[in-house]
């Protein structure tokens, strides 16, 4: 074998073989893609066929009811929206701050290593565990009750690792030259962060935030665990008041329900009409997620334009 000389290698066949491997991999990729997308499209179409015709103003503006035809998702749409607002308001600032600190400020030592490993691990903890934690800590120990604020807090905890990791990735990808340029102009560290690093990292952070929020919006287990309701036929107090100070945060302390709980309840009912309601709720939930995604893409697009 060792005596085989260079001239004996058949380059044409070697190239052909490599091209075949290339080609096979390409085909394999397409097959996998078709399977994955096909499953997704089948699921979505199935949901849309079942649910789309049920969505009308009555469905969107009614409270749950024992009669499938009169039932609606008003309280759960409002609940989901408010909980997501709390989640975003807590998780994004905290997650970005933590990510930025870990990437730019934290000294590289054993403690930071342990924190880093655990942040990544936290992203894989089943959501029900967060629910149990929130039940013990927020609901009972801190006495916050089964309220929107607790719902927002538990989902914020759940997606915090996602946002932290995304922020770190985004910050890490910014060239060192940007920092050096900023320091050369006499900026201190925070100014560098504020005017150069954070704006440049915003698209990546935004993507992380959306991935996190999209996960949070579909969660049922932790929300049920903290004691969210299923039947609730009134809305939280309005945030805008007619009397001074015109703005109220009382809604934070309201009992609530969210759309995945409503779906979960309807899916397990015996009557087929409720199953259609569940499908319709699924369509609305997906539309909300897409809307959120669209919003993020639009913001990212605007940021990119202004940065150029």
Binding-site member from 149, 216, 279, 284 for another protein (CB under 8 A): 149
Helical (H) or strand (E) element with 13: helix 11-51
Distance in Å, CB of 37 to another protein, minimum: 26
Q: Which stretch binds another protein (CB under 8 A): 5-13, 26-34, 118-126, 249-257?
A: 249-257
Q: Is 62 in the site for another protein (CB under 8 A)?
A: no
Distance in Å, CB of 65 to another protein, minimum: 6
Binding-site member from 19, 65, 81, 173 for another protein (CB under 8 A): 65
Footprint of another protein on residues 1-60 (CB under 8 A)? none
Angle between helices 74-100 and 272-307 (to 10 degrees): 40
Q: Is 261 in the site for another protein (CB under 8 A)?
A: yes
Distance in Å, CB of 146 to another protein, minimum: 8
SS (H, E, C) 119-174: HHHHCCCCHHHHHHHHHHHHHHHCCCCCCHHHHHHHHHHHHHHHHHHHHHHHHHCC
Binding-site member from 16, 17, 66, 172 for another protein (CB under 8 A): 66
Distance in Å, CB of 140 to another protein, minimum: 9
d(CA 262, CA 232): 10
Residues in the chain: 308
Footprint of another protein on residues 191-210 (CB under 8 A)? 194
Binding-site member from 23, 105, 234, 301 for another protein (CB under 8 A): 234
Q: Is 93 in the site for another protein (CB under 8 A)?
A: yes
Distance in Å, CB of 33 to another protein, minimum: 30
Distance in Å, CB of 163 to another protein, minimum: 16
**Is the Cβ–Cβ distance between 197 and 171 less than 8 Å?**
yes
d(CA 148, CA 297): 28
Q: Is 252 in the site for another protein (CB under 8 A)?
A: yes
Give the residues across from 247 on adjacent strands: 240
d(CA 134, CA 141): 9
Distance in Å, CB of 218 to another protein, minimum: 17
Give the residues across from 240 on adjacent strands: 247
Going by C-alpha positions, the residue among 135, 128, 136, 83 that lies closest to residue 255 is 83
Q: Is 64 in the site for another protein (CB under 8 A)?
A: yes
Count of residues of this chain found to bind another protein when the rule CB under 8 A is applied: 43
The distance from CA 293 to its chain's CA centroid, rounded to whole angstroms, is 9
Q: Is 275 in the site for another protein (CB under 8 A)?
A: yes
Q: Which stretch binds another protein (CB under 8 A): 26-34, 54-62, 138-146, 295-303?
A: 138-146
Going by C-alpha positions, the residue among 27, 8, 160, 49 that lies closest to residue 96 is 160
Binding-site member from 152, 222, 236, 282 for another protein (CB under 8 A): 236
Give the residues across from 105 on adjacent strands: none
- The answer to whether the bond into 252 is cis (omega within 30° of 0) is no
Q: Is 272 in the site for another protein (CB under 8 A)?
A: yes
Binding residues (CB under 8 A) for another protein: these are 63-67, 89, 93, 143-145, 147, 149, 194, 224, 227-234, 236-237, 247-255, 261, 264-265, 267-272, 275
């Amino acid at each position: 074998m060792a005596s085989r000389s260079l001239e004996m290698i058949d380059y044409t066949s070697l190239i052909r073989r490599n091209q075949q491997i290339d080609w096979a991999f390409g085909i394999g990729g397409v097959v996998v893609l078709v399977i994955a997308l096909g499953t997704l499209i089948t699921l979505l179409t199935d949901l849309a066929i079942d649910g789309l015709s049920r969505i009308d103003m009555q469905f969107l503006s009614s409270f749950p009811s024992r009669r499938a035809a009169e039932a609606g998702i008003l309280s759960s749409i409002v609940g989901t929206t408010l909980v997501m607002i709390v989640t975003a308001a807590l998780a994004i600032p905290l997650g970005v701050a933590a990510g930025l600190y870990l990437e730019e400020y934290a000294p590289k030592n054993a403690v930071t290593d342990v924190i880093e490993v655990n942040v990544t691990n936290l992203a894989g903890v089943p959501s029900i565990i967060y629910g149990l934690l929130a039940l013990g800590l927020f609901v009972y120990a801190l006495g916050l009750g089964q309220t929107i604020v607790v719902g927002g807090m538990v989902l914020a905890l759940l997606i915090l690792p996602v946002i932290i990791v995304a922020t770190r990735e985004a910050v890490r990808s910014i060239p060192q030259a940007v920092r050096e340029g900023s320091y050369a102009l006499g900026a201190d560290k925070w100014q560098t962060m504020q005017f150069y690093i954070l704006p440049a990292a915003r698209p990546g952070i935004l993507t992380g935030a959306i991935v996190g929020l999209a996960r949070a919006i579909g969660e049922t287990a932790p929300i049920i665990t903290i004691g969210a309701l299923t039947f609730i036929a009134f809305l939280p107090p309005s945030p805008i008041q007619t009397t001074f100070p015109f703005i109220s945060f009382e809604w934070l302390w309201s009992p609530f329900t969210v759309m995945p709980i409503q779906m979960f309840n309807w899916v397990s009912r015996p009557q087929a009409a409720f199953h259609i309601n569940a499908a319709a709720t699924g369509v609305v939930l997906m539309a909300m997620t897409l809307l959120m995604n669209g919003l993020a893409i639009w913001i990212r697009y605007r940021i990119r334009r202004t940065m150029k």
